[in-house]
Structure 1
Amino acid sequence: MFRKWMLKMFTASQRLRTREGGAVALPATFALPGLSAGSAYVAVALLLPAFFFLYGLDAFPLRDNNEGLYAEIAREMLETGNYVVPHLNGVPYIEKPPLLYWLCALSMKLLGPTPAAARLVSAGSMLALSVGLFQFARMHGNARAGVFASVGAASALPVALVAHVVLFDPLLTALLGGCLLCYLHSYLVHSRKALRWAAFLLALAVLDKGGVALALAGGTVALFLLLVRDRQGWRRLFDPAAIAVLLLVAGVWHLAAALMQPGFAWFYFINEHVLRFLGQRQPDDYHHGPLWFYLPRLLLMLAPWTPFLLLLAPARGASPGTSGTIVRFCQAATLFPLLFFSLSAAKADYYLMVALPGLALWLGIELAQRLAAPDRLVAACWGVSLGLAALALFAAPGAFSGSVPLPVLAMLGAAALGLAIFGRSLFLRQRTTRARELALLAVALLSAAALVPLCQVAGERGARDSSVYVARILAGHEGGSRSVFIYRDFEDTFSTLPFYLGQPVPLVDSASRDLQFGCARHGVARCLTIDEFRHARARGPVAVVVQAARADEFLALAGPGRWRAEWVGEKMVLFDAR
C-alpha cells in the first residue's frame, strides 16, 4: 500500500512538471537487494536519518545548560497550565517564543516527563526535514540527489548530536528549511498553495525563535531573486492569503504575551532582537567572535562530509534548467545565513545550522551529476570522508571525554590518512554508478557506528554535566520534607535540578542572568536574599545545593549552625544538621 502511494505521488509530480514545462529526470539506477530502485531510495532516505536522529535520545540525562532550562519551562507549562507566558524556575522567562516549549510539553504529556520525550521535538523535526529534502528533490525529478541530501544532512555527526539536545535551532532549521522548500516549489511551478504553506511554516518558525526567522527567510529569498534576476518573482511574493496566514499565526501569541506580561514589548522586541544583534543586549550572556567565526564551524558542521564542499567550486558552470534554478536557491540559502550571523554580535556554534538544508540539497545535486562517471575529485573527497568517519568512530569518544593521549591521537590520524589514500584508489576502481552510490552509503554507515559510543560517553559524563544525581541524593535523604535551595548558580550548573525534582527550586543570592528579568518582576519569593534565606532556615530544616568551590563562601554567609555535606563531582549538597 505504501509503495503504491509513493509511486502514485511520483507519477503525479512528473505530470505536474510536464505541464509547467520543467525538465523531468527519471530516477537513477540505485538499488538494494530485493528492492526496486524507487523503493530503495525511500528506504535509505527514511531509515538512515531515523537512526541518526532517534537513536540514543534517552542515553544520557538532561544537561545543565540551555537544555535544562528549556525542558524545565515545558514541564512547568504542563504543571501550571500557563501556555502564554513561559516560566522558568517559577518566574517569567520571555527571551524566546513558546513553540518549542509547547511541543516539548505535548511530547511529555504523551510520553512522560523524560529527557527522551523533551528531545523528541528536536530529533523529530530534523527527521522531518531530511524526509522533506528527499521528497522535494524527488518531486523535481532527481531522487538520487534527494537521497544524498537527506542522508548527508542526517549523518553529519555534529548535526546529529545537536538534534539530540533540547534547543530552538533544530526546530528552527526544520521549519525554516520546510518554508524555503515550499517557496522554491511555488516558484518553480507557480503554485499559490505552496506559497501559503511556506507562509504557515515561516509563522511557526517565528513562534520558535522570533524575528530572526523573518530575517533569514526574507534575506534568502531576496538574494535568490537577485541571483536569478527575476523581477516578476518579487510580485508573486505579495499573496494576500499568505500574508494573512503569516500575520495571524505568528501574531496572536505576541499580542497575548504583551498584554499579560508587563515589560514584554521592550525586553522581547528591542532587547532580544535589535540589541542582541548589535551586541548591546542586557544582560550580556551570549558569545562573541570575529567576523570569520562561522567559517571553521561550517566545515565542522558537515563532518565527515566536509571534503565534499570542494565539489561546490564553480568550475563546472551552472546547471541547466530547473536544476540550475534550484542550485541558485541553495546558494542563497547557504550564503545569506552565513553573512547574517557573521555580522551579528551574538554568536553560538549551532546558529549556522539553518544553512544545512540549502547546503545539503546543493551537495546532493552536485553528487548526482558527478557519480555518472569516475571522477578523481569525488574519489579524493570520498577517501578523506571515509578516513574522517573512521577517525570519529575510534577517536571522537575519547577526545570528547578528554581521555585520548596525544600520541594515540596522532597514530589514529595517520591511520585515517592512510585509509583516505587507499579509499581514493578504491573509489576509482568502482565501474558502475550503483557501486559508487553504495560507497557513499558506506561513509554514512561508518558515521552511524560512531554515533553509538558518542552517546555512551555523554551518559558517562552525567555526574559532571547534569544535576540528576544531585536530585537523587535529595530525594533519597531521610526527612525528604526539607526545603531545597540553590546558592547563586543556576544555568550551566544546576538548571536541570528543578526538572528532576519536579518543582521550582528557590535561588539564594542569584547570579543567574537567565532569571534576571523574572526575578525583578515576580512577586513570589523564588529569588531570595541571604537574609530571606536565613528566615526560611529558621522555619525548618533545609538543604542547599552549591558548587563545591563556593561552599566556604556560602557557609560564611549562612550564619551559625552545623551542616552535613555530600558530593557529586564538583557539586555539593549541604544538609542543615538539626
Structure 2
Amino acid sequence: MPDTVAPRPPDRPLAGTGTRARIALAPELDHPHAKLIQTSPPSPSRPFISLPLLVLLAAVALGWNLNGYRLLDPDEGRNAEVAREMAYSNGYVVPHLDGLPYLDKPIVYFAAAAAMMELFGPTEAAARLPAYLATLATIALLVWFAHRRWGEEAGWLAGLAYATMVLPLAYARTAIFDSTLTLCTTAAIVWFADERPVAAWAAMAVGALTKGPIAVAIPLLALGSHALATGTPVRRLFSRRGLALFGAIALPWFIVVSIEHPDFPGYVFLRETLQRVTTRSFHRTAPFWYYLPILPLAGFPWIVPALARVSSVRATWDARRDAAASEPLLLACWVIVPLIFLSLNQSKLPQYVLPLIPALALAATRNLVAGGSRTAARVYVGVSGVAGLALVALTRWLPAPISLTPAEKAAIPPAAAALGIVVLCSGVLVGLGALTRRPRSTIFGYAVVVMAIPFLSGRLLVAVGDDRSSAGVARATAAALERSGGTGTVLGVLAYPPSLPFYLGRPIAVATETGQELTSNYIADNVERFRSLAGSPLLPAGYWREALARCPMPTVFLTGAGHREARAALGAALPLLAADDHYAVYGPCRPRSMSQPPQPPQPPRRGRGGR
C-alpha cells in the first residue's frame, strides 16, 4: 500500500472543491518525486468509463436475490430469530432468544432487522437488509472520502473497489453484525482523517452498540499507530466533545440493561471481551498466521493494485514525518496494526478482517490514480489465470474429504466453471487495459469478477441454504402440528436448530443440561437461573422421556441426527416426520391427559413482525 513519497503537486485541486480529476492509468513512475494524482480535465472525446453506473450495478449485485436462499445456521438463524422476537413483542431494549435474555451482542443490528421485519414481515431478506444497507453506506462513505482527497472519479473508483471485493460481497448478504461494524469503524477513521473527531466518536459509539469494544479498538489502533509514526500527538484523538457524545449515545442503553441485568457489565467486559481475546474458551482458536491466507482472498481482486507500490515502503517510512507520507501510512496502519491485534486474539473468524478491507479499496484507488496499473496488471494476469483454471478444474474434480449434499455437489461444477471463465476474461481485460492505456478495460476487468458471483451462484446458495437451515424441518413440523389441530408444541431433545423458531414463528422448548444448544454463552452461563423461571423453555435434560411417556399435549420431538439413544426411543414410539444430516423429527405424540408441560414464553404481540 505505501507508495513513493512525493510533495503535493501545485495543480492538485483542493479537497472538497468538486474539481474533476481525470484518472489516467499511466505507466508507474519510478522517480521519487512523481506526482501522486494527475489532474488534467477529462477528454470530451473519450470520456472515462461511467464509474457511477458501475457502482450502481455493483450495488444491485450485492443485493441480488437476498430472499432467494434460506438462513444459514447458526449465526443467521439465531440473529434472525432474535430480531423476530423483538419485532413480535415490540421490545427494542433487551434482545431475547427463545424468550430468554440474549446479551451476547448489543442492540443495533437486532433492532435494525426487527424494524425491517415490522415493515416487510419476517423474511430472510428482512433479516439481511441491515447488512446490505450498511454495505451501501460504507460504499457511499468511501466515495465521499476519496472524492475529497483525489477527485470525483477517484471517489467512484474507491466505492467500486470496495463493492467488488469478496468479503464485502459475502457479508453484505449475511445477517450478522460485521458489515454494520465496518461502516462504523470506517466512518470513525475517515472522519478523524478529515478532522471531524466528534463525528468519529459518534460512529464508534454506534459501533459499540453493534458489536462491543472492538468498534473502538480498531479505529484507535489504526489512528494511534499512525499518530505515533508521523509524530502527531495521540491526545488529538480524544476530543472532549467527541467523548461526551460517545457517552451520550452508548451509555443509556448500557445503563438500562445493566439495571435490569446486573451481571451484564461483567459479562461484557470480562467474558465477552477479555476472555475472548486472551483465552481459548470460545473454541475459535487458530494459528497466529490464520489471517495471512484469508486477507488476499477477502480483498480479491483489488488487493493486487492495493499492493502495487509496496516496494516503496522503505522510502515512505523514511519520510514518515513528511505530510506527503501521511496518506499511505494511514492506510498501512489501518490494515497492519489491527491485523496484528486480530492475529494475537485467541478468537478468530474470517469476517473479523472485514473492517480492514476499506483501507485496501482506498489503497487500490490511490495507486491506480498515481499510475500503478502496469505492475498490478502483470501480477493480476498471472493470479487470475491460475485462479480461473483452478475453478474450471472443479467441474471435473472435487476434494473427496469435503462433505457435501447431492444438491451441493450438483451445483458446484457449473457455478465454478462459469466463475472460472469470468476470472480468466477478467485477467484478459486487465492486461489489455494496461497494454493499451485503456482504463475502461482495466477497471471493468477488476470489477466484473465479484459482480458476477451473485448471478452465477444462485443454485449453489439454494443448495447450501437447504443444507444449513432448518426450513425443511420447520415445514414438516408445522404440517404435523396443523394436522393435530394447531395446539401442539415442539420439544428439542438436546438440540436447538437456531433457525427453527424463526421458520415456525415461535420459540420452542429444549430439554438440555447445559443450555449450550442455544449457541448463546450468556444463556449457557446462566442456565440454572433461567431454567428456574416460570414458563422457561429450558427443561431438564431427561424431561423428554417423561413427555414421551405421558404426552400431555401433541408434541413434536426433535433431536440431533447423531443422537442414537434419543432416536431409538423416539423412533420406537412415533413416526419419523423428517430427517437430514443434522436433525431428525418425530411425532406428534397423542395426548393421554389434560395436563400441559411448561411452554416457552411468547411475549404479547404488539408489533407486526410475527408470522
Q: TM (normalized to structure 1)? A: 0.83
Q: 1:125 aligns with which of 113, 116, 134?
A: 134
CA-atom RMSD in angstroms: 3.5
Q: 1:481 aligns with which of 481, 487, 492?
A: 487
Paired AA for residue 572 in structure 1: A
Paired AA for residue 204 in structure 1: V
Among the aligned pairs, what percent are the same residue? 25
Q: State the distance in 2 between where 1:79 and 1:354 align.
A: 32
- TM-fit CA distance, 1:43: 3.3
Q: 1:40 aligns with which of 42, 50, 70?
A: 50
Q: State the distance in 1 between where 2:479 and 2:354 align.
A: 41
Q: Give the structure 1 partner of residue 469 of structure 2.
A: 466
Structure 1 residues 336 and 305, CA, compared in 2 at 3 Å: closer, same or farther? same
Q: Which consecutive residues of structure 1, in runs of 5 or more, have no partner in the other structure?
A: 1-9, 17-22, 187-193
Asked if 2 retains the 8 angstrom alpha-carbon contact of 1:565 and 1:573, the reply is yes
Asked if 2 retains the 8 angstrom alpha-carbon contact of 1:28 and 1:143, the reply is no
Structure 1 residues 561 and 142, CA, compared in 2 at 3 Å: closer, same or farther? same
- TM-fit CA distance, 1:336: 1.7
Q: State the distance in 2 between where 1:32 and 1:567 align.
A: 65
Asked if 1 retains the 8 angstrom alpha-carbon contact of 2:302 and 2:364, the reply is no
Q: Give the structure 2 partner of residue 115 of structure 1.
A: 124
Structure 1 residues 28 and 167, CA, compared in 2 at 3 Å: closer, same or farther? farther
Asked if 2 retains the 8 angstrom alpha-carbon contact of 1:78 and 1:109, the reply is yes
- TM-fit CA distance, 1:369: 0.8
Structure with more helix by fraction: 1
Q: Give the structure 1 partner of residue 300 of structure 2.
A: 303
- TM-fit CA distance, 1:275: 1.1
Task: Find the residue that maps to 2:122 and give its secondary structure.
Answer: coil
Q: State the distance in 2 between where 1:556 and 1:568 align.
A: 14
- TM-fit CA distance, 1:182: 0.8
- TM-fit CA distance, 1:425: 5.3
Q: Does 1:562 align with 2:573?
A: yes
Paired AA for residue 327 in structure 1: P
- TM-fit CA distance, 1:502: 0.8
Structure 1 residues 410 and 141, CA, compared in 2 at 3 Å: closer, same or farther? closer
Q: State the distance in 2 between where 1:127 and 1:177 align.
A: 12
Q: Give the structure 2 partner of residue 178 of structure 1.
A: 187
Q: Give the structure 1 partner of residue 226 of structure 2.
A: 224
Give the 5 Å matches for 1:355-374. 355-370=356-371
- TM-fit CA distance, 1:48: 3.2
Q: Give the structure 2 partner of residue 69 of structure 1.
A: 78
Structure 1 residues 530 and 116, CA, compared in 2 at 3 Å: closer, same or farther? same
- TM-fit CA distance, 1:446: 3.5
Asked if 2 retains the 8 angstrom alpha-carbon contact of 1:31 and 1:40, the reply is no
Q: State the distance in 2 between where 1:451 and 1:406 align.
A: 14
Q: Give the structure 2 partner of residue 575 of structure 1.
A: 587
Q: Give the structure 2 partner of residue 265 of structure 1.
A: 265
Paired AA for residue 540 in structure 1: M
Structure 1 residues 275 and 427, CA, compared in 2 at 3 Å: closer, same or farther? same
Paired AA for residue 409 in structure 2: S
- TM-fit CA distance, 1:152: 1.6
Q: State the distance in 2 between where 1:264 and 1:123 align.
A: 30
In the TM superposition, what whole-angstrom CA distance separates every residue of 1:384-428 from its partner, at most 9, and x where no partner exists?
465477569857899796638999999999989986886675344
Structure 1 residues 466 and 457, CA, compared in 2 at 3 Å: closer, same or farther? same
Asked if 2 retains the 8 angstrom alpha-carbon contact of 1:169 and 1:350, the reply is yes
Greater alpha carbon shift after TM alignment, 87-96 vs 311-320? 311-320
Q: State the distance in 1 between where 2:123 and 2:411 align.
A: 36
Structure 1 residues 136 and 471, CA, compared in 2 at 3 Å: closer, same or farther? same
Structure 1 residues 554 and 449, CA, compared in 2 at 3 Å: closer, same or farther? same
Asked if 2 retains the 8 angstrom alpha-carbon contact of 1:391 and 1:412, the reply is no
Task: Find the residue that maps to 2:150 and give its secondary structure.
Answer: coil
Q: State the distance in 1 between where 2:447 and 2:456 align.
A: 16
Greater alpha carbon shift after TM alignment, 106-115 vs 474-483? 474-483
Asked if 1 retains the 8 angstrom alpha-carbon contact of 2:285 and 2:348, the reply is yes
Task: Find the residue that maps to 1:486 and give its secondary structure.
Answer: strand
- TM-fit CA distance, 1:518: 5.0
- TM-fit CA distance, 1:218: 1.4
Task: Find the residue that maps to 1:292 and give its secondary structure.
Answer: helix
Structure 1 residues 356 and 417, CA, compared in 2 at 3 Å: closer, same or farther? closer
Asked if 1 retains the 8 angstrom alpha-carbon contact of 2:574 and 2:587, the reply is yes
Task: Find the residue that maps to 1:59 and give its secondary structure.
Answer: coil
Asked if 1 retains the 8 angstrom alpha-carbon contact of 2:426 and 2:446, the reply is no
Asked if 2 retains the 8 angstrom alpha-carbon contact of 1:286 and 1:347, the reply is no
Greater alpha carbon shift after TM alignment, 53-62 vs 309-318? 309-318
Paired AA for residue 97 in structure 1: P
- TM-fit CA distance, 1:30: 8.4
Q: Give the structure 2 partner of residue 548 of structure 1.
A: 561
Paired AA for residue 350 in structure 1: Q
Q: State the distance in 1 between where 2:99 and 2:224 align.
A: 42
Greater alpha carbon shift after TM alignment, 142-151 vs 53-62? 142-151
Q: Does 1:528 align with 2:523?
A: no
Structure 1 residues 15 and 79, CA, compared in 2 at 3 Å: closer, same or farther? closer
Task: Find the residue that maps to 2:370 and give its secondary structure.
Answer: helix
Q: Which consecutive residues of structure 2, in runs of 5 or more, have no partner in the other structure?
A: 1-12, 20-35, 591-611
Q: Give the structure 2 partner of residue 93 of structure 1.
A: 102
Q: State the distance in 2 between where 1:138 and 1:503 align.
A: 48
Q: Does 1:426 align with 2:432?
A: yes
Q: State the distance in 1 between where 2:331 and 2:374 align.
A: 25
- TM-fit CA distance, 1:183: 0.9
Q: State the distance in 2 between where 1:565 and 1:15 align.
A: 67
Q: Give the structure 1 partner of residue 211 of structure 2.
A: 209
Give the 5 Å matches for 1:95-494. 95-186=104-195, 194-231=196-233, 234-279=234-279, 284-315=281-312, 317-318=315-316, 324-370=325-371, 376-384=374-382, 386-387=384-385, 390=388, 403=409, 426-431=432-437, 435-477=438-480, 478-479=483-484, 480-490=486-496, 494=497
Task: Find the residue that maps to 1:61 and give its secondary structure.
Answer: coil
- TM-fit CA distance, 1:265: 2.1
Structure 1 residues 237 and 303, CA, compared in 2 at 3 Å: closer, same or farther? closer
Q: Give the structure 1 partner of residue 8 of structure 2.
A: none
- TM-fit CA distance, 1:577: 4.5
Asked if 2 retains the 8 angstrom alpha-carbon contact of 1:25 and 1:142, the reply is no
Greater alpha carbon shift after TM alignment, 51-60 vs 444-453? 444-453
- TM-fit CA distance, 1:60: 0.5
Structure 1 residues 553 and 535, CA, compared in 2 at 3 Å: closer, same or farther? closer
Structure 1 residues 409 and 452, CA, compared in 2 at 3 Å: closer, same or farther? closer
Q: Give the structure 2 partner of residue 7 of structure 1.
A: none
- TM-fit CA distance, 1:508: 1.4
In the TM superposition, what whole-angstrom CA distance separates every residue of 1:72-113 from its partner, at most 9, and x where no partner exists?
111111122332221111111111111111111111111111
Greater alpha carbon shift after TM alignment, 153-162 vs 311-320? 311-320
Q: State the distance in 1 between where 2:199 and 2:332 align.
A: 22
Paired AA for residue 287 in structure 2: P
Q: TM (normalized to structure 2)? A: 0.79
Q: Does 1:82 align with 2:85?
A: no
In the TM superposition, what whole-angstrom CA distance separates every residue of 1:24-80 from its partner, at most 9, and x where no partner exists?
9748748999xx66x9343333x0331232112112011111111111111111122
By relative contact order (CA 8 Å, sep 6+), the higher-ranking structure is 2
Structure 1 residues 264 and 405, CA, compared in 2 at 3 Å: closer, same or farther? closer
Q: Give the structure 1 partner of residue 23 of structure 2.
A: none
Q: State the distance in 2 between where 1:295 and 1:150 align.
A: 24
Asked if 1 retains the 8 angstrom alpha-carbon contact of 2:473 and 2:500, the reply is yes
Task: Find the residue that maps to 1:475 and give its secondary structure.
Answer: helix
Q: State the distance in 1 between where 2:44 and 2:183 align.
A: 28
In the TM superposition, what whole-angstrom CA distance separates every residue of 1:275-334 from its partner, at most 9, and x where no partner exists?
111015xxx344111111111111110123343354141328449987642222111111
Asked if 2 retains the 8 angstrom alpha-carbon contact of 1:385 and 1:420, the reply is no
Task: Find the residue that maps to 2:94 and give its secondary structure.
Answer: coil
Paired AA for residue 199 in structure 2: W
Paired AA for residue 223 in structure 1: S
- TM-fit CA distance, 1:546: 2.0
